[in-house]
Amino acid sequence: MLAAHLTTEIHIRKIPWYALRVRSNFEQQSYNALTIRGLEAFLPSFKVRRRWSDRVKLIDQPLFPGYVFCRFSPDERATVLRAPGVVHVVSSGRDPLPVDESELNHIRTVVMAELAVNPHPFLKIGQRVRIDRGPLAGAEGIFTAPNGKSSLILTISLLQRSIAVEVDAAWIRVL
């Protein structure tokens, strides 16, 4: 009976997300290789305008340069590390550190809302807020107001990286 209970518990647990450190400018190639291998990967990006001598073009840039997120079990670690560009799994010693799934879900909400978003320096201080209305309803982060504009800072604590997105101040509720 105990063995059956433990087996059920193992199947209920979710496979965690991990941050993968990848070679410079290899984020997209690593992401593609991981998804081709059947792994769930996430590469949050934002649009930036680049000017060439003959044209201006919008291109995707990673929100967290040098990192790709991937959900995998311990027995898939070798497969992940063999993907092109993957340097290592962000770890503490030999133990990989899982990324807080709610933080990733908040980042995914912002990316899918297609609002203006940019990388932002990591902040440890500031007031935590939750968005109650609008396309980001439910997202939590740190409120800032640079240049009088309301912004929400969303963070991946493990990487000490953040992004900023402009929001309507009326949508915000202090936690």
- Secondary element (H or E) of residue 34: helix 27-36
41 and 111 assigned to the same domain:
no
**Considering 99, 129, 153, which residue would you say is the last residue of a domain?**
99
User: End of a domain among 36, 69, 99?
Assistant: 99
Residues 155 and 172 in one domain: yes
| 136 and 85 within one domain | no
Structure-model confidence comparison of residues 95 and 17, the more confident one: 17
* Structural domain boundaries, residue 105: 100-175
What DSSP assignment string belongs to 43-110?
A: --EEEEEEE-SS-EEEEEEESSTTEEEEE--GGGHHHHHTSTTEEEE-EETTEEPEEPHHHHHHHHHH
Neighbours of 129 (CB within 10 A): 21
What is the distance between the alpha carbons of residues 73 and 90, in angstroms, rounded to a whole number? 14
State the CATH number of the domain containing residue 128: 2.30.30
Biggest distance spanned by C-alpha atoms of the chain: 71
Higher pLDDT, 134 or 104: 104
pLDDT digits over 56-102, tens only? 898 899 999 999 999 999 899 999 999 999 999 999 988 899 999 99
**pLDDT at site 50:** 87
Q: What is the pLDDT of residue 123?
A: 43
Q: Are residues 69 and 47 in the same domain?
A: yes
Q: Same domain, yes or no, for 141 and 104? A: yes
The tokens of 53 are what? 């001598």
Q: Where a domain ends, among 57, 77, 99?
A: 99
Number of domains in the chain: 2
pTM confidence score: 0.73
- Where residue 60 sits, what CATH number does that domain have? 3.30.70.940
Write out pLDDT tens, residues 145-159: 766 677 888 888 888
Q: How many CA atoms lie within 13 A of 68 on its CB side?
A: 30
What pLDDT is stored for residue 81 in this prediction?
Answer: 96
Number of neighbouring beta carbons within 10 Å of residue 100: 15
Residue 85 and residue 125 share a domain: no
